[in-house]
Amino acid sequence: MSSSNKIVRIASISAAAVLVLALAACSESGTSGAGDAEGGEIKIGRLLPLSGGLADLGNRVGNGAEAARIMANKDNCLNAEFVWATVDAPDDQAARQGAERLMNEGVDIVYGTYGSSLALAASPVVARAGGIYWEEGATAEALVDQDLDGFYRISAAASAMGSDAVDFAAEVLAPELGVDPSELTIAFAGVNTSYGEDAFAGVNEAAEEHGMEVVLEAVYATDSTNLSSVALQLKDAAPDIVVLTNYPPDGAVLGRALRAADVNPLAFIGTGGAHADSSWVEAMGTTGNGFFSSGPAAEIELTGLLPDAQERNTEFVATFEEEFGSQPAGFDRMGFDAAWLLFDTICSAGSTDPAAIKKAVAKLDLPERSLLSGDGVSFDDRGQNERAGWIVSQWQDGILVPVAPLDLGVREPALIPLPQWSER
């Protein structure tokens, strides 16, 4: 698919293309073939950073997954209750040890982890023990390069976040600014992890495609507490567009440094992480308005989804509000989509047996706009969902609103070019 289609395509899917995962018939006993359904329970491992630096996003993902579990248990497709065997994985060692613990407990399926380094530590343990590793949102390219049987990633890679950010600059911002895309210069600032490296690779690839010059790559450690030097590098480079790849803690540190140094490009575009989470505006206040984010979206235009997904969204929002007392955000939705797909696949397989799950996954063929993110589902031989992408959103009046693709956007892009810090 061309880069222009990624940004401005409008879904044209006939009713005949609406595919729903078929639920396999359960045996009369209700637990036959259900793997570990002992005592009316089906235990699913859940490995997430619930403490530490990624705790905010890890807990959001977990909340979305919990809403999916509640909804799955209402369907009761295997006549047994899905329960989580939850392990906190604040760092790589905890992720690896947590995966070992779950395997020792006889868990067949592990859902995780949001963090790429965490998934890289845990997924080989699970897959090599014969289990299923179901990754909801870790974005490192290395995850699908491991050639692990039983590894599946529902979200797109970080490289797509970077390329989609530059595509958006070329296809949406450039026309708004009245310039040819090749006239725009790009700078990158981000964490020195696989997430940052892959996002920058996507930035480079898309920039070359559009004839843009990349004038700076500034990287730093995730635990940095002073990023004034990075802000000064960006100010000296004076790019038209700045692409940022940050987690919430360092994203806030860099945001304040950019404001203090008065770095004023035509646009800032984040790649998920910091700029797709409410902690961004909590840290930056009104000066966080105008920033774009290529990543998960807190809401989308529901008419852009297939009818079945629209109904599921209504149930999800109601379930989430009842359970957590708030509206779901982007990472809650990401966690939900992956968990919903997992539970539906288990129901289709009629079992948590890894061999049955793999057969069910091989049959998955959901068109775009089937998930609440707007994605479809079809896995390649590496376990990557080939129908996954990212939505470009913008902070407007303290709210993160999708602006592209057009059929999923709820508002038009605004604040182009980005006003001075004092004017936001």
Give the pLDDT confidence of 76-123 residue by residue, as tens digits.
Answer: 999 999 999 999 999 999 999 999 999 999 999 999 999 999 999 999
Instruction: Report, at the CATH architecture level, how domain 159-295+392-423 is classified.
Output: 3-Layer(aba) Sandwich (3.40)
Question: CB neighbours (10 Å) of residue 140?
Answer: 24
User: What residue ranges of the chain are covered by domains with CATH 3.40.50.2300?
Assistant: 3-155+301-389, 159-295+392-423
Q: Is 28 exposed, middle or buried (0-12, 13-18, 19+ CB in 10 A)?
A: exposed
End-to-end CA distance of the chain: 37
pLDDT tens readout for residues 116-153:
999 999 999 999 999 999 999 999 999 999 999 999 99
Express as a percent the part of the chain with pLDDT over 90: 82
Tokens of 371: 């998930």
Residues 6+ apart with CB under 8 A from 197: none
More confident residue, 204 or 194: 204
For residue 62, which amino acid is it? G
Tokens of 69: 């579990």
Q: What is the pTM of this model?
A: 0.82
Tokens of 88: 């906190």
Please give the pLDDT value at position 7. Answer: 40
Quote the DSSP letter at residue 146: S
pLDDT tens readout for residues 325-351:
999 988 999 999 999 999 999 999 999
pLDDT tens readout for residues 209-221:
999 999 999 999 9
Is the link from the previous residue into 417 a cis peptide, with omega within 30 of 0? Answer: yes
Tally helices (H) and strands (E) across the chain. 14, 12
Tokens of 98: 């947590």
- Report the CATH superfamily, name and number, of domain 3-155+301-389: Response regulator (3.40.50.2300)
